Amino acid sequence: MCTVCGCGDTAVFDGKRREELLPFGHVLARAPAKHSNGHSHDHGHDHFHDHSHSHPHDHTHHYGLGAAGVSVPGLSQARLIEVETSILAKNDGLATANRRVLTALGALAVNLVSSPGSGKTTLLCKTIEMLGDAPLAVIEGDQQTSNDADRIRATGARAVQVNTGKGCHLDAQMVGHAMDDLKLPPHAYLFIENVGNLVCPAAFDLGEDAKIAILSVTEGEDKPLKYPDMFTAAKLAILNKIDLAPHCDADLDAYEANLRRVNPTIEILRVSARTGEGMAAWIGWLRAHLAAKA
C-alpha cells in the first residue's frame, strides 16, 4: 500500500524489490509507487544519506527515516497498540445481544449442530409435532435451498431460512436478523438448525442457551473423537436413529463412552425420531430448560 495516500497498490513494495529500491528506507522519494490510477508521489530532488553518523550533531533534520520512510504531520511513526481483543469479539457482542433478547422473553434457544444427514430436520419436525401448541420458531441454516424451511413450515411452524452462501456456519448476526423477522412471542422455543458441519459452528456463539449435538448411529462410534471441538462445546448429545443400530452393528455404549471421553459433563439421550423411541425424554429436556428460563 502507498504509505502516503493509502491507496492499495503493492506492486513496488513487496519483499526483496523493496530493499533494492529503497536502501535508506525511503518509500516514495526515490521509488515512486506505480499507482493504478496513474498518479505518483515523486518529487524533483535526490536524497543523499551516504555519510555515517559517528559524531553527535544537531544541525540536520531527517524526516522519513522511520519504518514508514515518510513523515506525515500529525501521524507518528512506528507505534505499538495493545489490542487484546478476541478475533470473534464482534460475533460475541452480537451473540450477547441475542441472548439478552431471549432472556427478556423467557425464550429457550437451542443450537442444533451435527454432520449433514444426521436427521436434524426429521427430529425437528417430530419435536414440533410433539410440542403441540407451544409457541416456537425455527431458524434453518443451509448453504443453499429453502428445502429444510419448507419441511418445517409444512408442520405449521414458523421458519426462516438463512442461506449462508459460501459460509460454513451461522453467525450471531444472521441469527439476530432472523430473530427480528420471527418476532418471537414470550416463552417460545427457538430452534436454530445450524449448517451441517461439525467443525466451524463450534466456535460461533449465536446467543443460544445450549448447543445440542446430534449424532446418528450410522456415523461411527469414534465420531466424537474425530470432531472433539463440537462435542466439547455441546451440553447435550442426541444419539439419533437408534432403530438402525442393530442393522449397522452400532455399539451405543461405545458412542456414549467416546462422548464422555471428550466431554465428561455431556448429557446424552438415545432417540429415534422415526419410531418415536426416546422422544419423550427429549421433549422433557426441552420443557425443563424452558421452565428454568421463566
Q: Least distance (Å) from other proteins to the CB of residue 124?
A: 24
21 vs 291, which CB is nearer to other proteins? Answer: 21
- What residues line the site for other proteins (CB under 8 A)? 1, 3, 6, 8, 10, 13-14, 66-68, 72, 74-91, 167-169, 171, 199-200, 202-204, 225, 228-229, 232, 260-265
**3-class DSSP state of 287:** helix
Which of 167, 225, 241 is CA-nearest to residue 201? 167
Complete DSSP assignment for 146-166: SHHHHHHHTTT-EEEEEE-TT
Q: Least distance (Å) from other proteins to the CB of residue 31?
A: 15
130 vs 200, which CB is nearer to other proteins? Answer: 200
Secondary structure of 5-64 in HEC code, one letter for each residue: CCCCCCCCCCHHHHHHHCCCCCCCCCCCCCCCCCCCCCCCCCCCCCCCCCCCCCCCCCCC
Phi/psi of residue 246, nearest 5 degrees: -65, -25
56 vs 264, which CB is nearer to other proteins? Answer: 264
5 vs 291, which CB is nearer to other proteins? Answer: 5
Q: Least distance (Å) from other proteins to the CB of residue 92?
A: 10
153 vs 261, which CB is nearer to other proteins? Answer: 261
Q: Least distance (Å) from other proteins to the CB of residue 99?
A: 19
Q: Least distance (Å) from other proteins to the CB of residue 3?
A: 6
**3-class DSSP state of 239:** strand
CA distance to 41, 108, 174, 205, 273, per residue, from 93 (Å): 42, 19, 13, 9, 35
89 vs 288, which CB is nearer to other proteins? Answer: 89
Alpha carbon distance 199, 187 (integer Å)? 31
Q: Least distance (Å) from other proteins to the CB of residue 53?
A: 22
